[in-house]
Amino acid sequence: GENIVFRVISTTGQIPIRDFSADISQVLKEKRSIKKVWTFGRNPACDYHLGNILPVSNKHFQILLGEDGNLLLNDISTNGTWLNGQKVEKNSYQLLSQGDEITVRTDPTGTILSLVIFINDKFKQSLEQNKVDR
């Protein structure tokens, strides 16, 4: 549906495909520039459980839905998060693009957990559409 904001595919296969959605009417009501936050980490209460692996932080990174339907990545971990192979600076918002790869080290020998982000353009379009209608 068009409520789906993005899909996450674990290319390393540990985790089933997951879709993340947002309610457009809620998004339009939200006054702050960050409309919604999804948390990824070791804690099973996260929106996306990365598995119970110690190098992964309890809350490792967030994907945020910004003002114009843009998606942002924010690293909040101890051991770091990589975007397309580049380590991202902690607490600095990185714009996500179609097909971006987010990786997290799952052990010191360099094993990684790799997640690819597929953005649903329809969500952004309906957001624009609904803004115009108001």
Order the strands of the 94-95 sheet from edge to edge: 48-49, 36-41, 61-65, 71-75, 94-95
Note the pLDDT tens digit of each residue in 72-107: 999 999 999 999 999 999 999 999 999 999 999 988
- Whether 49 shows a pLDDT value over 70: the answer reads yes
pLDDT band at 68 (very low <50, low <70, confident <90, very high): confident
CA distances 69 to 43, 90, 110, Å, are 27, 22, 34
Note the pLDDT tens digit of each residue in 13-44: 878 899 999 999 999 999 999 999 999 999 99
